[in-house]
Structure 1
C-alpha cells in the first residue's frame, strides 16, 4: 500500500495571513520521510543517521501548491520513490486535506544524495536501502 502519514497543522506553521507558511510544506515532506523509514522500512531515521552513518541531504526541490490550509487542518502526506540513482534518491510527495482524494493541497519532489554522516563524503545508495526502496517502488507501480 502507498504510504501516507497524517500531519496536523500547528499554530507555529501558519503565517500572518492565517494559512500555512509555504516552507512548512517542505518540513511536512521531511516528516513524512522520517515516518516512511519507520513504517515501511522498519528502521528509524535516527538509526540511519547515527548507527548506519548515512545522511540524505536534499540537493534539489520542487513543489506546487493547490489550496490553502489553516491552523487545525490535517494534511495526509503520501510518499513515493521516483528513482534510485547511483548515489541519489528522487522522492515524490502528494498532500491531501484530511485524506480527501479530490483535495490535493500540495505536490512536490526532492532529490537526496547519500553521504556519510561522520565526514559528509558521497557514497552509493547502500544495498539494504536500494533493495527496500526498489521493492516499495515496484509495489507502487502496480497501483
Structure 2
C-alpha cells in the first residue's frame, strides 16, 4: 500500500530550459511525506505537551531521475513505507506524469530515511524507538 498525492510543476521549479530542476524534488518528497503523516493522524512537529513528543529528522536522502518534467505538468507522487526499523523509517517516493497519449511516464524515484527523535525540554533531539501507536499507523500504509 502507499499514499498518493499530486503536485503541479510551478515556474519556480524549473531551470532555464523549462525542465524541473533536480533540487525541486527534495521539498516535494518532504511535503508528500508530511501529507501522508497528517493523513494518518501523525503530527509532523508535535507540541511540547504531546505524547509521544517525537519528530523525524532526515539522515539520508537521494533521488534518481528517469525522464523530464516541465512547467505546468501534473506530477503523481506515491509515497511508500518500505522499511520500519526500531527507530528509523525508509520511504520511497515515486514521481510520474502522463504523456500526451495518456500513458504513464516515470519521472524520478527518491528515498528518504528518517529517525525517530524525542524533543528534549529546552531544545535538542534524542534518538528514540518508534512509539507503538505510530508504528501501527505506518504499517497500514
Q: What TM-score does the superposition give when structure 1 sets the normalisation length?
A: 0.82
Residue 121 of structure 2 is aligned to residue 106 of structure 1: no
Aligned ranges 1:123-142 → 2 under 5 Å: 123-136=128-141
CA RMSD of aligned residues (A): 2.3
SS of alignment partner, residue 19 of structure 1: coil
Q: Which protein has the bigger helix share? A: 1
* Shift of residue 110, structure 1, vs aligned partner: 1.3
Gap regions ≥5 residues in structure 2: none
Instruction: Tell whether the 8 Å contact from 1:80 to 1:91 is kept in structure 2 after alignment.
Output: yes
1:43-81 Cα distance to aligned partner (Å, 9 max, x none)? 443448984532211111222111111111111110100
1: CA distance between counterparts of 2:87 and 2:8? 33
Structure 1 residue runs of 4+, over 4 Å off? 46-50, 98-101
Report the count of equivalent residues: 135
Which of the pair has more CA radius of gyration? Answer: 2
